[in-house]
A and B are shown apart, each in its own frame.
Chain A
Amino acid sequence: MKWGLLALASALLIYPFILTGPFYWDVGVTFLLAAISASAWNIVGGYAGQVSVGHSMFFGIGAYVPLLFYQLWGWPPVAGVPAGIVVSLLLAVAIGLPTFRLQGHYFSMATIAIAELIRIFVGTWDLVGAAIGLQGPAVGRAWWDLTFRSELPYYYIFLAVLGVVLYTTYELARSRFGYYLRAIKAGERAARSLGVPVRQTKLKALMLSATFTSVAGSLYAIKTGFIDPESGFGILVSVQMVIIAALGGAGTLLGPLVGALILVPLQTATNTFFGGGGSGLTYILYGGMIVLLARFEPGGMHELWDRIAPRLPRRSHAA
């Protein structure tokens, strides 16, 4: 039995009972959402090494479609989640095919441009609320509207989704598909010569990543009850996913989780202690941290841990 994972799962499960109260639960929900989004990004950005800085396009679609279903036909937003996934998948295929031909930086720039384009376009499209955005049900009509008065149900729903994403990533990583991803990350030409079906693999990774990112967007919209072009498709949404995954260790299973564990409380704390003063310290810290990370420890906390761990006192254990 993997005691570490068990301890982690237990800690996450009982967190709302350690730190009680709606505010701490809300922080917990924010943390889970960040971990889900970053883990979703991790599949294509971390494992496959395709650094997309435009993943907000999938997040935004996942957030808008459920609320659109509510706005147009009065359906409970959760009914729109599968449709959001379908649209995200279509976008992933439409984008993936031409864009994956591009190398490194070009790919990243393309993702930024496309996400921006979608953001501006959505901001002018009246059907989806243009610049004003869309709202969810203000007061829940029944349980399936998922407008809970307390954060607690959201916490456990999000935790379950995180579990699914992590489990999928785990199975993926130890399968041959995961091996292909790592080969591609290490060097595409070499991977191709080894017989790795590069294009198919990258596309599948993007599609899987897009699915989970879309779900994350849907969760956000259902919980917040509101979406607009900036909160759905804004560049900070994309950047946050990348930073959290990188901070913890992109391409590792728990990297995004660790990243979220560090960043979300840090953001909450700086906002609490400095926020009222309005100096914008949060983002300066953010930027500084990312630069230091890139410069000194690009592998994130995971790599740092890998370097430190062997030096810690050993304890023999059975695998």
Chain B
Amino acid sequence: MAGKPRNRQAAVADAGLAKMNDGRERREDKLSKLCATLVAAVAAALSAAPLRAAEAVKIGVLMPLTGNAAAAGQASKAAVEIAAEIVNGKHPELGNLPLATTEGLPNVGVAKVELVFVDHQGNPSLAQQLATRLITQDKVQALLGAYQSSCSFTATAVAERYGIPFLVGDSAALNITGRGFKWVFRTTPIASDYAATYMRFFDDMKKEGKKIASIAVVNENTDYGTSVADSIEAAAKTSNMPVAIRIPYSASSTDVSAQVLQLKEKQPDVTIFISYTSDSILYIKGMKNLDYLPPMVIGDDTGFSDPSFIPAVADIAQGAMNRSAWDIGKPGTTTSKINDMYKAKTGRDLDDTSGRNMQGFFALAEAINRAGSTEPEKIRETLTRTDLKPDQLMMGYNGIKFDQTGQNILASTYLIQLKGKQYQLVWPQKAATASLDWPMKGWKH
């Protein structure tokens, strides 16, 4: 770098360098003045953004409204908006659903619930920043979200720091409620719950004489698919259920025929798919194309529950099972009416994930109402004492009761089966509204 020029070429270079540097320094000095002005201008512009005072009860909702998970985020947004309408308005036809019959939150001066949505785009750092904004600028009393586990991780840490209750409606990663936080609550079942459910289902089926000698697990390889698949493998090990093959794959694959052929080779009795929408459809079509019909296929929600799944593959996937805590139910039931409201707004049926967020919202609103106050500590305290019964819920949980880590210990899920153009609830027996077809018919019907 600096040092005596070794030869004439370098000397010329250095001389030219000095001259260039001089001119550049003068220009850069001007540029720095420009920068300083810019900083001031930007600061002025940012501070002009209005600060909103806390009037109604405000709940911040973090969702991925753009990016790869936008479809799910938008669906959940619509669902939570409907839930707010139910709480804020009079809906006596919705029975035991908390706060449906009344207008607003009666114990908090009939305050209306106001939702503040933010789009974290699936970016955990942005989720962190937006949680900060919601709490310090928008002055929300509670938070709900955030779909991707990575975003829930960072956003809940912010809530914990500021002492604002955060209710996780849908993220499945185990560690969200495993960090010793006091302010984080989760109503949805987690990966290990799902794994346990599947094992119980297999036990029931074996008792009925169905052959389940081995299973296969096919999972998309982001945090969702990986955590559920890991849990299933762990549960299968303790239940002595052999896993014939585990196939992690990238959800953006164009072609999955190689994977289908691997399955065809191993011939598992049940294949569990932990997939997003496009890949779920690809697999079903691939299985038909390659003439591979396993005795049973179970989709782990998500892809199999997406509104575009049934229209795309209903004819060739008859009898495919899915896990869901949401069942539309017979016409006239509370759940069916909720679905009608959602369908009127979006044109589609309510899906399980959005339903779980909606349920999370109801739990939150119910607790705020029971606390009779908008003070975060009081809300948190009432949340710890939440005890909702199954008939007060829209989802099929056994209730809502949080343990000391904030996890709902009564969270559970159904298994549903595709019959015709709809899923019917087939397991557990006591909640079933239709009989279980085994093996699945697929395209042979």
Contact = CB atoms under 8 A, between A and B. Distances in A.
A280 B119 CA distance: 9
Contacts of B46: 19, 24, 27, 265, 268-269
Interface stretch (A46-54, A73-81, A88-96, A270-278): A270-278
A306 B70 CA distance: 42
Interface residues of B, number: 78
B124 A224 contact: yes
Interface in B72-114: 73-74, 77
Nearest to A178: B17
Contacts, number: 203
A30 B127 CA distance: 12
Nearest to A257: B35
Contacts of A138: 157, 160, 179-181
A123 B221 contact: yes
A224 B125 contact: yes
A12 B49 contact: no
Nearest to A282: B66
A309 B118 contact: no
Contact of A15 (B39, B136, B153): B39
A69 interface: no
Nearest to A309: B30
Contacts of A231: 123-125, 150
Interface in A216-233: 220, 224-226, 228, 230-231
A258 B39 contact: no
A23 B181 contact: no
A276 B70 contact: no
B13 A176 contact: yes
B124 A258 contact: no
B137 A278 contact: no
A179 interface: yes
Interface of B: 1-3, 9-10, 13-14, 16-17, 21-22, 24-36, 38-40, 42-43, 45-47, 49, 65-67, 70, 73-74, 77, 116-119, 121-126, 128-130, 132-133, 135-137, 149-150, 153-154, 157, 160-161, 173, 175, 179-181, 221-223, 225-227, 248, 250
Interface of A: 2-5, 7-8, 10-12, 15, 18-19, 21-24, 26-27, 30, 120, 123-124, 130-133, 135, 138-139, 149, 151, 172-179, 194-195, 220, 224-226, 228, 230-231, 252-254, 257-258, 261-262, 265, 268-269, 271-272, 275-280, 282-283, 302, 305-306, 309, 319
10 contacts: A7-B36, A8-B35, A11-B39, A130-B226, A179-B13, A252-B28, A258-B38, A261-B39, A272-B49, A278-B65
